[in-house]
């Protein structure tokens, strides 16, 4: 499964700082995937999900600052999406406390969210920033 998680041209939003942060995010998904492949115990997978959560929190804060500083018109919509994903990740971490989430479910959720986040929402932000020069 690990080989399908790689950086793809379609993920690029055209703003270097955002693309670099997104690349790191792909690296964290790969790390979680490898942990499953190596049958790491679920307590440790939970720790990796927490690590990813903290990085997502940082990344969203950084994007929200960019949106605020550039008067991005869709700020409120995007902020809501960020909050929703953070809630979903919190739920996943809580679920791990009591039960196991299998690799396919977790990785598919993270990848499909990431694909949508980069190719839809952040792409719009990228175009907006580029249009302002």
Binding site for Fe ion (CB under 5 A): 122
- Residue 98 beta carbon to Fe ion: minimum distance, rounded to whole angstroms: 30
- Residue 6 beta carbon to Fe ion: minimum distance, rounded to whole angstroms: 17
How distant, in Å, are the alpha carbons of 14, 110, 115 from that of 9?
Answer: 10, 18, 11
- Residue 112 beta carbon to Fe ion: minimum distance, rounded to whole angstroms: 15
**Closest to Fe ion by CB, 12 or 122:** 122
* CA 83/CA 90 separation, integer angstroms: 10
Nearest one of 55, 51, 59 to 18, comparing CA atoms: 59
- Residue 43 beta carbon to Fe ion: minimum distance, rounded to whole angstroms: 29
* CA 60/CA 100 separation, integer angstroms: 27
Q: Contact, 1 vs 37, CB < 8 A?
A: yes
* CA 11/CA 93 separation, integer angstroms: 26
Per-residue tokens: 101: 């989430």
């Amino acid at each position: 499964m690990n080989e399908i998680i790689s950086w793809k041209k379609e993920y690029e939003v055209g703003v270097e700082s955002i693309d670099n942060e997104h690349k790191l995010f792909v690296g964290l998904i790969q790390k979680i995937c490898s942990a499953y492949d190596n049958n790491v115990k679920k307590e440790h997978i939970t720790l990796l999900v927490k690590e990813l959560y903290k990085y997502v929190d940082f990344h969203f804060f950084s994007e929200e600052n960019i949106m605020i500083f550039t008067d991005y018109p869709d700020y409120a919509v995007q902020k809501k999406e960020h909050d929703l994903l953070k809630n979903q990740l919190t739920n996943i971490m809580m679920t791990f406390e009591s039960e196991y989430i299998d690799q396919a479910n977790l990785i598919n959720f993270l990848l499909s969210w990431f694909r949508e986040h980069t190719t839809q929402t952040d792409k719009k932000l990228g175009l907006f920033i580029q249009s302002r020069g």
